[in-house]
Amino acid sequence: MVTALRSPVSVSVRAAAKINLHLGVGAVRADGFHPLDTVYQAIGLYDDVTMTAHHHTGIVLETADYIDPADIPSASENIAIRALDLVRAHSGRDGHERLDLIKSIPVAGGMAGGSADAAATLLAYDRLHGCGLSDEVLLELAAELGSDVPFSLVGGTARGRGRGELVQPLDDQGTWWWVAVPSRLGLSTPDVYRHFDRLFPHALAEPAEPADLLSALASGEPLRLARTLHNDLQGPAIDLRPDLGILIERGEREGALRGLVSGSGPTCIFLCDSLDGAHAVVAGLRGAGHDVVLIANGPVAGAHFLELP
Ligand code: C5P
Protein backbone atom coordinates (compact mmCIF):
# COMPACT_ATOMS: atom_id res chain seq x y z
CA MET A 1 0.00 0.00 0.00
CA VAL A 2 1.41 3.39 -0.96
CA THR A 3 0.59 6.07 1.61
CA ALA A 4 3.67 8.23 1.68
CA LEU A 5 2.51 11.02 -0.65
CA ARG A 6 0.32 12.93 1.83
CA SER A 7 1.99 15.50 4.11
CA PRO A 8 2.63 13.99 7.53
CA VAL A 9 0.66 15.28 10.53
CA SER A 10 3.81 15.51 12.60
CA VAL A 11 7.49 14.86 12.06
CA SER A 12 10.11 13.77 14.60
CA VAL A 13 13.81 14.48 14.21
CA ARG A 14 16.66 13.35 16.44
CA ALA A 15 19.86 15.41 16.72
CA ALA A 16 23.05 14.53 18.58
CA ALA A 17 25.36 16.35 20.98
CA LYS A 18 28.77 17.41 19.68
CA ILE A 19 32.18 17.43 21.23
CA ASN A 20 35.34 19.04 19.86
CA LEU A 21 38.32 16.69 19.54
CA HIS A 22 40.39 19.67 18.45
CA LEU A 23 39.47 23.30 19.03
CA GLY A 24 42.06 25.73 17.70
CA VAL A 25 41.04 29.35 18.34
CA GLY A 26 42.62 32.37 16.63
CA ALA A 27 42.57 36.07 17.55
CA VAL A 28 39.12 37.67 17.66
CA ARG A 29 37.89 38.98 14.27
CA ALA A 30 36.43 42.41 13.57
CA ASP A 31 32.89 40.90 13.71
CA GLY A 32 33.46 39.64 17.28
CA PHE A 33 33.75 35.96 16.32
CA HIS A 34 36.94 33.92 16.58
CA PRO A 35 38.43 32.03 13.63
CA LEU A 36 38.34 28.33 14.41
CA ASP A 37 39.99 25.20 13.15
CA THR A 38 38.07 22.46 14.90
CA VAL A 39 37.28 18.77 14.63
CA TYR A 40 33.74 18.02 15.72
CA GLN A 41 32.37 14.63 16.62
CA ALA A 42 28.67 13.83 17.10
CA ILE A 43 28.16 11.49 20.08
CA GLY A 44 25.23 9.42 21.25
CA LEU A 45 23.40 11.86 23.48
CA TYR A 46 20.28 13.18 21.79
CA ASP A 47 17.49 15.72 21.71
CA ASP A 48 14.29 14.80 19.85
CA VAL A 49 12.06 17.43 18.26
CA THR A 50 8.53 16.55 17.12
CA MET A 51 6.84 19.26 15.05
CA THR A 52 3.07 19.45 14.55
CA ALA A 53 0.98 22.10 12.77
CA HIS A 54 -0.89 23.94 15.55
CA HIS A 55 -2.99 27.05 16.22
CA HIS A 56 -0.11 28.81 17.93
CA THR A 57 3.65 28.46 18.06
CA GLY A 58 5.19 27.08 21.24
CA ILE A 59 7.42 24.50 22.88
CA VAL A 60 6.35 21.63 25.11
CA LEU A 61 9.35 20.35 27.06
CA GLU A 62 10.37 17.04 28.53
CA THR A 63 13.84 16.80 30.05
CA ALA A 64 16.20 14.11 31.28
CA ASP A 65 16.35 14.02 35.08
CA TYR A 66 19.78 15.70 35.11
CA ILE A 67 18.43 18.76 33.26
CA ASP A 68 16.65 21.54 35.13
CA PRO A 69 13.80 22.74 32.86
CA ALA A 70 14.29 26.23 34.36
CA ASP A 71 17.67 26.41 32.57
CA ILE A 72 16.09 26.08 29.13
CA PRO A 73 15.51 29.45 27.42
CA SER A 74 11.84 30.46 27.18
CA ALA A 75 10.11 30.10 23.80
CA SER A 76 10.77 33.73 22.85
CA GLU A 77 14.53 33.25 23.38
CA ASN A 78 14.85 29.63 22.38
CA ILE A 79 17.03 28.93 19.34
CA ALA A 80 14.54 26.27 18.17
CA ILE A 81 11.86 28.97 17.82
CA ARG A 82 14.36 31.23 16.05
CA ALA A 83 15.03 28.34 13.65
CA LEU A 84 11.29 27.88 13.13
CA ASP A 85 10.77 31.60 12.42
CA LEU A 86 13.73 31.64 10.02
CA VAL A 87 12.72 28.59 7.97
CA ARG A 88 9.07 29.67 7.92
CA ALA A 89 10.06 33.13 6.61
CA HIS A 90 12.41 31.51 4.07
CA SER A 91 9.64 29.26 2.76
CA GLY A 92 7.20 32.17 2.55
CA ARG A 93 4.53 30.31 4.53
CA ASP A 94 2.22 31.47 7.33
CA GLY A 95 0.90 29.33 10.13
CA HIS A 96 2.06 27.96 13.43
CA GLU A 97 3.74 24.84 14.71
CA ARG A 98 4.14 23.21 18.08
CA LEU A 99 7.50 21.71 19.05
CA ASP A 100 7.60 18.82 21.49
CA LEU A 101 11.18 18.82 22.66
CA ILE A 102 12.69 15.91 24.57
CA LYS A 103 16.07 17.06 25.86
CA SER A 104 18.93 14.85 26.96
CA ILE A 105 21.82 17.05 25.83
CA PRO A 106 23.06 19.15 28.79
CA VAL A 107 21.97 22.81 28.62
CA ALA A 108 24.66 25.53 28.28
CA GLY A 109 27.12 22.67 28.50
CA GLY A 110 29.46 23.09 25.53
CA MET A 111 27.78 20.22 23.66
CA ALA A 112 25.70 22.26 21.19
CA GLY A 113 22.34 21.19 22.61
CA GLY A 114 20.63 24.37 21.36
CA SER A 115 22.28 23.93 17.96
CA ALA A 116 20.96 20.35 17.79
CA ASP A 117 17.42 21.61 18.49
CA ALA A 118 17.78 24.28 15.79
CA ALA A 119 19.07 21.76 13.22
CA ALA A 120 16.27 19.32 14.06
CA THR A 121 13.70 22.12 13.72
CA LEU A 122 14.94 23.07 10.23
CA LEU A 123 14.69 19.46 9.02
CA ALA A 124 11.31 18.87 10.66
CA TYR A 125 9.79 21.98 9.09
CA ASP A 126 11.10 21.06 5.65
CA ARG A 127 9.56 17.58 5.86
CA LEU A 128 6.29 18.62 7.58
CA HIS A 129 5.46 21.14 4.86
CA GLY A 130 7.18 19.40 1.93
CA CYS A 131 9.34 22.46 1.21
CA GLY A 132 12.06 20.42 -0.50
CA LEU A 133 14.91 22.65 0.71
CA SER A 134 18.30 21.64 -0.66
CA ASP A 135 21.15 20.65 1.66
CA GLU A 136 22.88 23.84 0.62
CA VAL A 137 19.97 26.03 1.74
CA LEU A 138 19.56 24.10 4.99
CA LEU A 139 23.27 24.61 5.75
CA GLU A 140 23.00 28.34 4.99
CA LEU A 141 19.99 28.75 7.28
CA ALA A 142 21.84 26.72 9.92
CA ALA A 143 24.90 28.99 9.72
CA GLU A 144 22.66 32.04 10.25
CA LEU A 145 21.40 30.51 13.47
CA GLY A 146 24.76 29.70 15.06
CA SER A 147 28.32 28.57 14.42
CA ASP A 148 27.68 24.92 15.46
CA VAL A 149 24.29 24.44 13.79
CA PRO A 150 25.62 23.30 10.36
CA PHE A 151 27.63 20.56 12.09
CA SER A 152 24.48 19.39 13.90
CA LEU A 153 22.97 18.73 10.46
CA VAL A 154 26.07 16.95 9.14
CA GLY A 155 27.09 14.83 12.17
CA GLY A 156 29.76 12.12 12.14
CA THR A 157 33.26 13.51 12.54
CA ALA A 158 34.00 16.71 10.62
CA ARG A 159 36.40 19.60 10.37
CA GLY A 160 34.97 23.06 11.08
CA ARG A 161 36.53 26.29 9.88
CA GLY A 162 35.54 29.93 9.53
CA ARG A 163 33.74 30.60 12.82
CA GLY A 164 32.93 26.86 12.92
CA GLU A 165 30.14 26.98 10.36
CA LEU A 166 32.15 25.72 7.34
CA VAL A 167 31.93 21.97 7.78
CA GLN A 168 33.78 19.27 5.89
CA PRO A 169 33.11 15.60 6.78
CA LEU A 170 36.15 13.55 7.79
CA ASP A 171 36.73 9.86 7.36
CA ASP A 172 36.54 8.28 10.82
CA GLN A 173 36.46 4.49 11.00
CA GLY A 174 36.82 4.34 14.78
CA THR A 175 34.22 3.70 17.47
CA TRP A 176 35.28 5.94 20.29
CA TRP A 177 33.96 5.62 23.83
CA TRP A 178 33.35 8.75 25.83
CA VAL A 179 32.27 9.49 29.38
CA ALA A 180 30.59 12.88 29.77
CA VAL A 181 30.12 14.73 33.07
CA PRO A 182 27.69 17.66 32.79
CA SER A 183 27.78 20.44 35.34
CA ARG A 184 24.79 21.72 37.30
CA LEU A 185 25.89 25.26 36.56
CA GLY A 186 26.17 26.31 32.89
CA LEU A 187 29.01 28.37 31.43
CA SER A 188 28.27 31.10 28.88
CA THR A 189 30.07 30.59 25.55
CA PRO A 190 30.65 34.35 24.98
CA ASP A 191 32.09 34.65 28.52
CA VAL A 192 34.61 31.87 27.82
CA TYR A 193 35.65 33.43 24.49
CA ARG A 194 36.02 36.83 26.20
CA HIS A 195 38.19 35.21 28.85
CA PHE A 196 40.31 33.64 26.09
CA ASP A 197 40.88 37.21 24.74
CA ARG A 198 41.95 38.39 28.21
CA LEU A 199 44.31 35.45 28.79
CA PHE A 200 45.78 35.45 25.26
CA PRO A 201 45.89 39.06 24.03
CA HIS A 202 48.56 38.07 21.49
CA ALA A 203 46.82 35.01 20.05
CA LEU A 204 47.79 34.31 16.43
CA ALA A 205 45.27 35.21 13.74
CA GLU A 206 45.41 31.64 12.39
CA PRO A 207 44.02 28.94 14.70
CA ALA A 208 46.11 25.82 15.40
CA GLU A 209 45.59 22.99 12.89
CA PRO A 210 44.69 19.44 13.94
CA ALA A 211 47.40 17.69 11.89
CA ASP A 212 48.35 14.92 14.38
CA LEU A 213 44.75 14.39 15.37
CA LEU A 214 43.70 13.59 11.80
CA SER A 215 46.21 10.76 11.52
CA ALA A 216 45.30 9.51 15.02
CA LEU A 217 41.63 9.38 13.96
CA ALA A 218 42.52 7.37 10.89
CA SER A 219 44.54 4.90 13.03
CA GLY A 220 41.48 3.97 15.12
CA GLU A 221 43.76 3.72 18.19
CA PRO A 222 42.29 5.37 21.31
CA LEU A 223 45.68 5.95 22.95
CA ARG A 224 46.93 7.81 19.88
CA LEU A 225 43.77 9.88 19.71
CA ALA A 226 44.06 10.66 23.44
CA ARG A 227 47.50 12.19 22.94
CA THR A 228 46.29 14.55 20.22
CA LEU A 229 43.06 15.93 21.77
CA HIS A 230 43.34 19.70 22.09
CA ASN A 231 41.11 22.56 23.24
CA ASP A 232 42.25 26.20 23.29
CA LEU A 233 39.18 27.11 25.39
CA GLN A 234 40.10 24.65 28.12
CA GLY A 235 42.51 27.04 29.90
CA PRO A 236 39.98 29.91 29.98
CA ALA A 237 37.15 27.56 31.04
CA ILE A 238 39.21 26.11 33.91
CA ASP A 239 40.35 29.59 34.94
CA LEU A 240 36.67 30.55 35.30
CA ARG A 241 35.74 27.20 36.84
CA PRO A 242 38.69 25.57 38.66
CA ASP A 243 36.45 22.63 39.64
CA LEU A 244 36.66 21.46 36.01
CA GLY A 245 40.43 21.00 36.28
CA ILE A 246 39.97 18.91 39.41
CA LEU A 247 37.32 16.79 37.65
CA ILE A 248 39.58 16.16 34.64
CA GLU A 249 42.45 15.03 36.88
CA ARG A 250 40.11 12.74 38.78
CA GLY A 251 38.71 11.14 35.62
CA GLU A 252 42.22 10.46 34.36
CA ARG A 253 43.15 8.91 37.74
CA GLU A 254 40.07 6.68 37.42
CA GLY A 255 41.38 5.26 34.15
CA ALA A 256 40.33 7.61 31.35
CA LEU A 257 42.95 7.90 28.60
CA ARG A 258 42.39 11.65 28.57
CA GLY A 259 39.96 14.20 30.00
CA LEU A 260 39.02 17.42 28.24
CA VAL A 261 36.62 20.33 28.54
CA SER A 262 33.95 19.96 25.83
CA GLY A 263 33.95 23.08 23.63
CA SER A 264 33.51 26.10 25.89
CA GLY A 265 32.45 23.82 28.78
CA PRO A 266 31.49 23.17 31.49
CA THR A 267 30.76 19.56 30.43
CA CYS A 268 33.94 17.49 30.68
CA ILE A 269 34.50 14.49 28.45
CA PHE A 270 36.78 11.52 28.95
CA LEU A 271 38.11 9.28 26.20
CA CYS A 272 38.17 5.63 27.29
CA ASP A 273 39.79 2.58 25.70
CA SER A 274 36.54 0.56 25.42
CA LEU A 275 32.97 0.31 26.71
CA ASP A 276 34.27 -1.66 29.72
CA GLY A 277 36.85 1.06 30.30
CA ALA A 278 34.08 3.67 30.19
CA HIS A 279 32.05 1.74 32.80
CA ALA A 280 35.09 1.68 35.09
CA VAL A 281 35.54 5.46 34.76
CA VAL A 282 31.82 6.00 35.44
CA ALA A 283 32.07 3.89 38.60
CA GLY A 284 35.18 5.80 39.73
CA LEU A 285 33.63 9.22 39.14
CA ARG A 286 30.36 8.22 40.83
CA GLY A 287 32.43 7.03 43.80
CA ALA A 288 34.03 10.49 43.84
CA GLY A 289 30.58 12.07 44.26
CA HIS A 290 29.62 12.91 40.66
CA ASP A 291 26.07 11.63 40.39
CA VAL A 292 25.50 12.46 36.71
CA VAL A 293 28.03 10.58 34.59
CA LEU A 294 26.99 9.53 31.08
CA ILE A 295 28.45 7.15 28.49
CA ALA A 296 28.20 7.91 24.77
CA ASN A 297 29.95 6.57 21.71
CA GLY A 298 30.88 8.45 18.59
CA PRO A 299 30.73 9.19 15.79
CA VAL A 300 26.95 9.06 15.26
CA ALA A 301 24.72 10.55 12.56
CA GLY A 302 23.69 14.18 12.20
CA ALA A 303 20.04 15.28 12.53
CA HIS A 304 17.76 12.56 11.09
CA PHE A 305 14.09 11.60 10.93
CA LEU A 306 12.53 9.20 13.41
CA GLU A 307 9.66 7.26 11.90
CA LEU A 308 7.27 6.85 14.80
CA PRO A 309 4.34 4.41 14.41
O1 C5P B 1 27.61 31.28 16.79
P2 C5P B 1 27.04 31.20 18.16
O3 C5P B 1 25.74 31.94 18.28
O4 C5P B 1 26.95 29.82 18.69
O5 C5P B 1 28.09 31.94 19.08
C6 C5P B 1 27.78 32.35 20.39
C7 C5P B 1 28.85 33.30 20.86
O8 C5P B 1 30.08 32.60 21.03
C9 C5P B 1 29.17 34.43 19.89
O10 C5P B 1 28.30 35.52 20.10
C11 C5P B 1 30.60 34.76 20.27
O12 C5P B 1 30.64 35.53 21.45
C13 C5P B 1 31.18 33.40 20.62
N14 C5P B 1 31.85 32.76 19.47
C15 C5P B 1 33.07 33.27 19.04
N16 C5P B 1 33.71 32.68 17.98
C17 C5P B 1 33.19 31.61 17.36
C18 C5P B 1 31.96 31.07 17.79
C19 C5P B 1 31.31 31.67 18.85
O20 C5P B 1 33.58 34.25 19.60
N21 C5P B 1 33.84 31.06 16.35
Same domain, 35 and 66: yes
Does residue 5 fall inside a structural domain?
no
- Residue 265: Cβ-neighbour burial (10 angstroms; 0-12, 13-18, 19+): buried
Examine the fold and report which residue of 144, 171, 198 is the final residue of a domain before the chain moves on.
171
Q: Return the ligand 1 atom nearest residue 164 CA.
A: 21
Does residue 137 fall inside a structural domain?
yes
Q: Return the ligand 1 atom nearest residue 34 CA.
A: 16
Same domain, 49 and 24: yes
Clarify whether 18 is annotated catalytic.
yes
CB 90 within 8 A of CB 46: no
Q: What is the mean pLDDT of residues 83-93?
A: 97
User: From ligand 1's centre to the CA of 122, what distance in Å?
Assistant: 20
Question: Whole-number mean pLDDT of the chain?
Answer: 95
User: From ligand 1's centre to the CA of 113, what distance in Å?
Assistant: 14
Q: What is the pLDDT, as a whole number, of residue 19?
A: 98
User: From ligand 1's centre to the CA of 85, what distance in Å?
Assistant: 21
- Which protein residue has the closest C-alpha to ligand 1 atom 13? 190
Q: Return the ligand 1 atom nearest residue 115 CA.
A: 4
Same domain, 142 and 231: no
Tell me which of 148, 172, 232, 273 is the catalytic residue.
Answer: 148
Task: Please tell me whether the overall predicted TM-score, pTM, comes out greater than 0.85 for this model.
Answer: yes
pLDDT digits (tens, 9 = 90+) for 215-258: 999 999 999 999 999 999 999 999 999 999 999 999 999 999 99
Q: Is the pLDDT of residue 94 over 60?
A: yes
- Which protein residue has the closest C-alpha to ligand 1 atom 7? 190
**Cβ < 6 Å from ligand 1: which residues?**
33-34, 36, 146-148, 163-164, 189-190, 193
Q: Return the ligand 1 atom nearest residue 149 CA.
A: 4
Same domain, 129 and 250: no
Q: What is the DSSP string of 101-129?
A: EEE-SPTTSSS-HHHHHHHHHHHHHHHHT
Same domain, 193 and 264: yes
Closest CA to 54 of 112, 2, 94: 94
The number of domains in the chain is 2
Examine the fold and report which residue of 171, 201, 226 is the final residue of a domain before the chain moves on.
171
User: From ligand 1's centre to the CA of 147, what distance in Å?
Assistant: 7
Does residue 305 fall inside a structural domain?
no
User: From ligand 1's centre to the CA of 163, what distance in Å?
Assistant: 8
Q: What is the pLDDT, as a whole number, of residue 308?
A: 61
Give the domain CATH number at 123.
3.30.230.10
User: From ligand 1's centre to the CA of 170, what distance in Å?
Assistant: 23
pLDDT digits (tens, 9 = 90+) for 249-301: 999 999 999 999 999 999 999 999 999 999 999 999 999 999 999 999 999 99
Q: Is the pLDDT of residue 131 over 60?
A: yes
Q: Which of 18, 33, 231 to mutate to test the pocket of ligand 1 (most atoms within 8 A of CB)?
A: 33
Examine the fold and report which residue of 149, 171, 193 is the final residue of a domain before the chain moves on.
171
Q: Is the pLDDT of residue 194 over 90?
A: yes
CB 288 within 8 A of CB 259: no
Same domain, 81 and 166: yes
- Which protein residue has the closest C-alpha to ligand 1 atom 21? 163
Run of H or E including 194: helix 189-199
Q: Is the pLDDT of residue 186 over 90?
A: no
Distances 220 to 23, 154, 176, 212, 231 between C-alpha atoms, Å: 20, 21, 8, 13, 20
Q: Return the ligand 1 atom nearest residue 193 CA.
A: 20
Q: What is the pLDDT, as a whole number, of residue 165?
A: 98
Sort strands 58-63 and 96-103 into parallel, antiparallel or unpaired: parallel
Same domain, 185 and 206: yes
Same domain, 237 and 279: yes
Q: What is the pLDDT, as a whole number, of residue 4?
A: 53
Residue predicted with more confidence, 126 or 186: 126
Q: What is the pLDDT, as a whole number, of residue 89?
A: 97
CA distance 45 to 307: 19
Range of the domain at 278: 176-298
**% of residues, the chain, pLDDT over 70:** 97
- Which protein residue has the closest C-alpha to ligand 1 atom 12? 190
